[in-house]
């Protein structure tokens, strides 16, 4: 039997639309990895591009996609990077610190239990 992760984190990358955002993606990935090392939970992390979200619904569930589209209408690609924890956008438009990510993950783990 395969164990399911306690949490799913989805990172929305805007580097497809604005190449200068690739540096923010790298910084976010580094911070996520550090935060994950401090959280007692199984976490699945996936990255999706903003362009794939705009082209169709297959990369996110309906609730997640609606949130991204709403943010995109307001902020364009400046919403990136964005971080979903579960179905909720927790961060958008800047790279959260390791502490911010850890706190958000701890809260999500607590809410899930």
**pLDDT, greater one: 6 or 97:** 97
Q: What is the pLDDT of residue 100?
A: 97
Q: 80 near 13, Cβ under 8 Å?
A: yes
Q: What is the pLDDT of residue 34?
A: 96
pTM: 0.86
Q: What is the pLDDT of residue 4?
A: 45
Q: What is the pLDDT of residue 5?
A: 53
**pLDDT, greater one: 112 or 79:** 79
Q: What is the pLDDT of residue 57?
A: 67
Please give the Cα distance from 16 to 20 (Å, whole number).
9
Q: Beta strands 82-85 and 7-13: pairing type?
A: antiparallel
Look-up: residue for tokens 């990935």?
29
* Three-class HEC string of 37-89: CCCCCCEEEEEEEHHHHHHCHHHCCHHHHHHHHHHHHHHHHHHCCEEEECCEE
Which residues pair with residue 12 across a beta bridge?
Answer: 48, 82
Query: Could you report the per-residue pLDDT of 8-49, keeping only the tens digit for each?
Result: 999 999 998 888 889 999 999 999 999 999 988 888 999 999
Query: Could you report the per-residue pLDDT of 44-80, keeping only the tens digit for each?
Result: 999 999 988 888 767 888 899 899 999 999 988 888 9
Q: Can you list the domains of the chain with their CATH numbers?
A: 7-112 (3.40.30.10)
Q: What is the pLDDT of residue 54?
A: 85
Q: 8 near 44, Cβ under 8 Å?
A: yes
């Amino acid at each position: 039997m395969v164990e399911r992760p306690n949490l799913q984190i989805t990172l929305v990358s805007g580097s497809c639309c604005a190449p200068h955002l690739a540096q923010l993606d790298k910084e976010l990935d580094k911070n996520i990895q550090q935060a994950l090392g401090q959280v007692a939970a199984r976490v699945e992390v996936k990255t999706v591009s903003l362009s794939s979200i705009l082209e169709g619904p297959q990369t996110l569930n309906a609730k997640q996609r609606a949130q991204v589209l709403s943010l995109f209408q307001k902020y364009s690609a400046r919403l990136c990077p964005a971080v979903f924890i579960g179905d909720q956008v927790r961060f958008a438009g800047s790279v959260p610190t390791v502490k911010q990510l850890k706190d958000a993950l701890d809260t999500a783990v607590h809410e899930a239990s």
